[in-house]
């Protein structure tokens, strides 16, 4: 399977189109008011209409209540719910069944001990996303542009795909892919020229670099075998 490339936190048609035209496999919309990338439902529905059929659409939520989940499902119709809060495995199952979507659960990582939380989620969701743990004084989850030690994921086999996120950018992407061997990569702040403001050229460059890193790894593995 080729490396899945996801551009998250998109909020404007121009940068969404850049991601789609460059061949992003997935695009993400954020539904969390404290985030500078938060989009309202009306705008999200318009962006989703542009993306539908061209890339898979993920709706990122953080401990969202049923009212918000219902509204997202009805108006945006995402392919995925991407859960970034303290949602339990049981809640993830309920979301998956209620909305007939796939579910990706984010796991915050700072040390190898954080992987102890993965198994109950890996048993019930479609994909795991490893993100850097937020600083203690943070107002929102995620690494906020800072990566974690990818060596923690070396040799990891969950029995299903996992996605690497947290502080990825054009400069460290190839190294991250080589070390962690993820099934996918997810970027947000790494393709922004200012907080919450995506840059079309950076998006195109990141997707190109991801394809190149994937090809290089495949070549290296083939030669090693």
Q: What is the CATH number of the domain that holds 85?
A: 3.20.20.70
Q: Which of 131, 133, 130, 140 is nearest to 195 (CA)?
A: 140
Evaluate whether 191 touches 6 at the Cβ level (below 8 Å). no
Evaluate whether 163 touches 182 at the Cβ level (below 8 Å). yes
Full-model pTM: 0.93
Domain count within the chain: 1
Which H or E run includes 123? none
Query: Over the stretch 78-97, which tens digit does the pLDDT of each residue have?
Result: 999 999 999 999 999 999 99
What pLDDT is stored for residue 221 in this prediction?
Answer: 72
Query: Over the stretch 122-180, which tens digit does the pLDDT of each residue have?
Result: 999 999 999 998 766 555 554 456 799 999 999 999 989 999 999 999 999 999 999 99
Tokens representing residue 101 in the block: 């979507």
Domain span holding position 108: 4-223
């Amino acid at each position: 399977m080729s490396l899945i490339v996801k551009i998250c936190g998109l909020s404007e048609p121009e940068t969404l189109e850049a991601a789609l035209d460059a061949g992003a496999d997935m695009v993400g919309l954020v539904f969390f008011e404290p985030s500078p990338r938060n989009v309202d439902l009306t705008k999200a529905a318009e962006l989703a209409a542009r993306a539908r059929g061209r890339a898979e659409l993920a709706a990122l939520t953080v401990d969202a209540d049923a009212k918000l989940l219902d509204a997202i499902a009805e108006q945006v119709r995402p392919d995925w719910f991407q859960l970034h809060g303290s949602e339990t495995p049981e809640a993830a199952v309920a979301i998956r069944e209620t909305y007939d979507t796939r579910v990706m659960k984010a796991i915050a990582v700072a040390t190898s001990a954080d992987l102890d939380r993965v198994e109950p989620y890996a048993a019930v969701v479609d994909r795991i996303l490893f993100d850097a743990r937020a600083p203690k004084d943070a107002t929102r989850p995620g690494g906020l542009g800072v990566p974690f030690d990818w060596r923690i994921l070396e040799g990891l086999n969950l029995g299903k795909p996992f996605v690497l996120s947290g502080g990825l950018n054009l400069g460290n992407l190839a190294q991250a892919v080589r070390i962690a061997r993820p099934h996918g990569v997810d970027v947000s702040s790494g393709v922004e020229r200012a907080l919450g403001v995506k840059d079309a050229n950076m998006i195109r460059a990141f997707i190109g670099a991801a394809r190149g890193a994937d090809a290089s790894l495949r070549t290296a593995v083939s030669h090693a075998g």
